[in-house]
Copies of this chain bind each other. A is one copy, B any other.
Amino acid sequence: MRIVDIKERTISTGEKRSNAAMDFSDMTTGFVAVMTDVIRDGKPIVGYGFSGTGRYSQNAICRDRMIPRIFAADSDSLLNQAGDNLDPFKVWAAMMQKEKPAGHGDRAVATSTLDMAVWDAAAKIAGEPLYAFLAKNYGAGEWPDRVPVYVGGGYYAPGRGLPELQDEIRGHLDDGFTIVKMKIGGAPIEEDVRRLEAVLELVPSERLAVDANGRLSLKEALAYGKALAPYQLRWYEEPGYPLDFDLHAEVAKQYDSPLATGENLLSMWDAKNLLRYGGLRPDKDLLQFDCALSYGICEYLRTIEMVEQEGWSRRSIFPHGGHLLSLHITAGLGLGGTEAYPRTHQPVGGFTDGLEIADGFVGLPELPGLGFEGKANFYSVVSELA
């Protein structure tokens, strides 16, 4: 078998919405289709991938560097030992040839986009949902029926007051979520406390998390920590600049409730340095590395191994992103839980259509691969490629 073609496209995914650090109005997202010559039910198997949320399309890097290297490789050299399926690690190594060490930025997203499509194709060729393929080949061999999920929301938007914020939160609870995350750090601290208290009228504090999106200085992060401490929230996310490990260590010393960070660390090495120097606490803090932003599943498996070597449990990992990739790796590799973006970051946010969310858990799709075929707004974008 072999990869016969890789197609790609980029669409505008801008949304009128912001957090403390980002304005998403011009956002673009890349999609790829890895087309194989394996025929199933009369049609060739195609794997799909998307570039992770919030980092712009990286498809030019796919086009100029990664895709030509995949086709420059002998197609047999990309297969597993039996020769009947792609070996995603061999494809990964082929596309990363001739890349310099470090400098983990946009190319990490480009690589993830293609890596995702390769895993989607490989699981489809094996005839299994990706979580099952991962669990059998790279995990504990078993998987749950459903996994813990929380919903990311509570954004700032022009003209959005406390009633609108409460309406959004009510909607999330009606949808079956029990843990809710809201943005902070984009308004004065007193206003954020008022927003927090408005949400706490609807959600108990142990089920509310807050996210500062890495925007705060050390002084501000500590001030927020002091203001948040009495509420004993579920977690306080990205208090400061993602690479300011000293800041995280200082906040962890002064703020007793759980912290969370990691979505903007785009490689195993950046994640390792967070654990080495960030002062985070394995018994309570959350690690949110985003597989779709950090070189894909091949690298994520290395990251999980590193996390365990550093004395953490893989249950501390709650992948950022709120998309199907995070859901599959959470279920297949035994991670702690996943985020959900049911309405934002479309068409990549959210899971397959109709997937049950109840009591703070999300079920798993039964389609082969990642199940993009069961998410109509996603599939309408990628089906044109195949």
Which A residues fall within an 8 A CB radius of B?
A: 21-28, 54-57, 60-61, 64-65, 97-98, 100-108, 213-215, 241-246, 264-267, 269-270, 273, 276-277, 293
Which chain B positions have C-beta within 8 A of A56?
64-65
Can you show 28 pairs from A to B with CB atoms below 8 A apart?
A26-B98, A27-B98, A28-B64, A54-B100, A55-B103, A56-B65, A57-B64, A60-B64, A100-B264, A101-B213, A101-B215, A101-B241, A101-B264, A102-B241, A102-B242, A102-B265, A103-B108, A104-B104, A104-B105, A105-B105, A105-B107, A105-B266, A243-B267, A243-B269, A245-B276, A245-B277, A246-B276, A277-B277
- A98 to B22, Cβ gap below 8 A? yes
Name the residue among A56, A105, A213, A267 with the largest chain B CB count within 10 angstroms: A105
A243 nearest in chain B by CB position: B269
A106 nearest in chain B by CB position: B106
Name the residue among A55, A98, A107, A108 with the largest chain B CB count within 10 angstroms: A98
A18 nearest in chain B by CB position: B98
- A103 to B101, Cβ gap below 8 A? no
Name the residue among A102, A213, A243, A273 with the largest chain B CB count within 10 angstroms: A102
Which chain B positions have C-beta within 8 A of A21?
100-101
A14 nearest in chain B by CB position: B98
A270 nearest in chain B by CB position: B243
Which chain B positions have C-beta within 8 A of A214?
101-102
Min CB gap A338→B, angstroms: 20
A57 nearest in chain B by CB position: B64
What is the bound-complex CA distance between A214 and B22, given in angstroms? 34
A54 nearest in chain B by CB position: B100
Min CB gap A277→B, angstroms: 6
Min CB gap A99→B, angstroms: 8
- B293 to A269, Cβ gap below 8 A? no
What is the bound-complex CA distance between A75 and B295, given in angstroms? 38
A109 nearest in chain B by CB position: B103
Which chain B positions have C-beta within 8 A of A270?
102, 243
Which chain B positions have C-beta within 8 A of A266?
102-103, 105
Which chain B positions have C-beta within 8 A of A27?
98
Which chain B positions have C-beta within 8 A of A57?
64
A10 nearest in chain B by CB position: B64
What is the bound-complex CA distance between A269 and B274, given in angstroms? 13
What is the bound-complex CA distance between A57 and B243, given in angstroms? 26
What is the bound-complex CA distance between A241 and B267, given in angstroms? 13
Which chain B positions have C-beta within 8 A of A277?
245, 273, 276-277
Which chain B positions have C-beta within 8 A of A293?
103
A264 nearest in chain B by CB position: B102
Nearest first, the 3 closest Cβ-Cβ pairs linking A and B are A105-B105, A60-B60, A102-B242
Min CB gap A266→B, angstroms: 5
Which chain B positions have C-beta within 8 A of A105?
103-108, 266
What is the bound-complex CA distance between A293 and B264, given in angstroms? 20
What is the bound-complex CA distance between A28 and B68, given in angstroms? 14
A26 nearest in chain B by CB position: B98
- B273 to A245, Cβ gap below 8 A? yes
Which chain B positions have C-beta within 8 A of A64?
28, 56-57, 60
What is the bound-complex CA distance between A199 and B162, given in angstroms? 72
